[in-house]
Each structure stands twice: as C-alpha cells, then as structure tokens.
Amino acid sequence: MNKSIYHISKMDCPSEEQMIRMKLADLDSIARLEFDIAARKLFVYHEGAPSEISQRLHALNLDTTLELTSEARLEIGEEDMSMQRRLLWQVLSINFIFFLVEIGLGFWANSMGLVADGLDMFADALVYGMALTAVGTSLTRQRNIAKWAGIFQIILALVGMIEVIRRFISPELSPNVFWMILVSFLALIGNGICLYLLQRSNSEAAHMKASMIFTSNDVIVNLGVILAAVLVYLTQSNLPDLVIGIIVFVLVLRGARSIMALAKD
C-alpha cells in the first residue's frame, strides 16, 4: 500500500472536496482518501503508482502538486456512520429551514442581504444533502445530483443579482432593520448550533471536518448581514444592504460553479 500526499492550492471548501472524491470515485486502486482542507492537503492511500491519480487531479485545475509518495500501512478505524448521518441530517434541516425563513422574510422586509444569506444557507444544505444522497449510490447518480443542484443554485443566485441591480437603479424603500438583525441573529444561533453539534462529534472523518469549516464561514456571513443592518440604520440608505447582498450572491455563484464541476468527467 502506498500513500501519496498532494497539496491542492484551490481546495478551500467542501465543494472542492466533493469534486475530488467524484473525480477519483471509479479508481479501484484507491483504498481511502483523507482531506485536510485547512492545510489544503489530500492524502491518498492506493495500490501501485500515483500517475493516474495525479492526471485526474490536474484535470480539475485546482493547482495540484504531488509532494510525496511512500509506503504506508492503512489502518481503518471504526466509524459510527449512523451518528454521522444523523448529524448531517440535523445540520441539513437547520440550514434548509433558515433558507425558507430568510428568503421569505427577506423579501417581506425588503432586504436583499437576508435573501442572499438565505440562499447561502441553501447552498450549505445542498452540500450536506449531496454528502448524504451520494453514500452508496452510483457515480452517475452522484453526478446528476450535483448537476441539478448546481443549476438550481445558479438560477437563484442570478435572479437575486438581477434584483440587486434593479434596486441599485430604481429607488426602493429601505429594508426593515429590525427584521434584518433579528433573523440574522437567529440564523447565527442556528449556525452556532450546527457548529456545536459537529464539534461535539469529535469525528476525524474528512466530510465532518469540512462541514465544520463551511459552517464557520456561514457565521461570518451572518455577522456581515447584521453589520449591514446597522449601517442601514446609521446612514438611512439601503446601499449597505445591497452591497452585502451582491457579495453573498457572488460567493454563492462561486460555490455553484464548484458544484457543477462535480457533474463533469
């Protein structure tokens, strides 16, 4: 058994991890993949030479470098898969509920920041959902899931960006600051609960560690919407709300592009 260590410069979220997993899914020579997203490292346990693995990773255009290949002993620990699935279902449910709440109240409160934050929560739910539905399914089904999830996400993000541009051009009522802060604060609590559940699992599994990183990033987005609400109140202008909205929509489009890449060969 060999162990190859790759440094992947552009691997910074679970979307890239899923992309890599699916790209290598049909290689029988691979025994296990381990990801360290924070360090942008991929550890591949495999039989034989790593040439085919390297070729497929380079095809993803994620700036991949093979650092080392050496002999290794693969020790497979017992994973509590039912616990992991239960946790993923919990964080998926929280994210999807807040997606519906923020989208609905965002339009009602005239806040594109809330709408964008809701779409970001939906993007998270997609990632967790793909992780769950891909378990034990064929590679073709995994790619179809990624394809349609990405298309739906892109459509929502583009519609949101068009609405932001329209509001830049045409005068609109200022967003309701009270609802912006209240809903964003509740979403912040929701993400905090997700982060607590994931950290409490003490799991070393790659997808669980990646989920913690993804959820931590969502906390920053929630705080950004709250800051935008404060600035709206202080300036009596809807510009801060539109700015945070466009920033989050761009981030969602970036994530959708990564998800769409999962559907490619």
Which is higher by pLDDT, 260 or 139?
260
Determine the pLDDT at residue 205: 54
Mean pLDDT for 100-125 is: 87
Q: Considering only residues 29 and 130, tell me which one the structure prediction assigns the higher pLDDT.
A: 29
Rounded Cα gap, residues 105 and 236, in angstroms: 20
Q: Three-class SS of residue 109?
A: coil
pTM of the model: 0.62
Dihedral (CA of 116, 117, 118, 124) sign: positive
Do the beta carbons of residue 208 and residue 87 sit within 8 Å? Answer: yes
Q: What pLDDT does 101 receive?
A: 92
Tokens of 261: 């890449």
Distance CA 141, CA 139 (A): 5
Neighbour-count burial of 123, counting CB atoms closer than 10 A to its CB (0-12 exposed, 13-18 middle, 19+ buried):
buried
Question: Mean pLDDT lowest for which of 85-89, 187-191, 253-257?
Answer: 253-257
pLDDT score at 196? 84
Q: Name the nearest CA neighbour of 195 among 221, 227, 217, 224.
A: 217
Under DSSP, the state recorded for 135 is: T
**Minimum mean pLDDT range among 77-81, 197-201, 260-264:** 77-81
Task: Judge residue 143's burial from the number of C-beta atoms within 10 Å of its C-beta, 0-12 exposed, 13-18 middle, 19 or more buried.
Answer: middle
**pLDDT score, position 264:** 61
Q: Give the tens place of pLDDT for each residue, 12-59.
A: 776 787 788 878 877 888 888 888 888 899 999 898 999 999 999 999
For residues 241 and 174, give the distance between their C-alpha atoms in angstroms, rounded to a whole number.
9
Kindly report which listed range (64-68, 108-112, 171-175, 247-251) carries the lowest average pLDDT score.
Answer: 171-175
Greater confidence (213 vs 88) lies with: 88
Look at 50-54, 92-96, 111-115, 154-158 and tell me which has the smallest mean pLDDT: 154-158
Average pLDDT, the chain: 80
Q: What is the pLDDT of residue 219?
A: 85
How many percent of the chain have pLDDT more than 70? Answer: 79
203-231 average pLDDT score: 75
pLDDT in tens, 75-98: 544 445 667 678 878 888 998 999
The pLDDT value given to residue 251 = 79
* Rounded Cα distance, 60 and 23, in Å: 8
Which of 6-20, 33-47, 94-108, 134-148 is the least confident region?
A: 134-148
Q: Would you give the distance in Å from CA 37 to the centre of its chain?
A: 12
Q: Is the pLDDT of residue 256 over 50?
A: yes
Cα 43 vs. chain centroid, distance in angstroms? 21
Q: What phi and psi, each to the nearest 5 degrees, are found at residue 151?
A: -60, -45
**Domains in the chain with CATH codes:** 2-71 (3.30.70.100), 81-261 (no CATH)
Q: Which of 5, 44, 38 is nearest to 217 (CA)?
A: 38
Q: Name the nearest CA neighbour of 106 among 175, 165, 185.
A: 175
Q: Confidence class of residue 209 from pLDDT cuts 50, 70 and 90?
A: low
Average pLDDT over every residue of 239-264: 78
pLDDT at 258: 67
Q: Report the C-alpha dihedral over residues 25, 30, 31, 34, rounded to 10 degrees.
A: -70
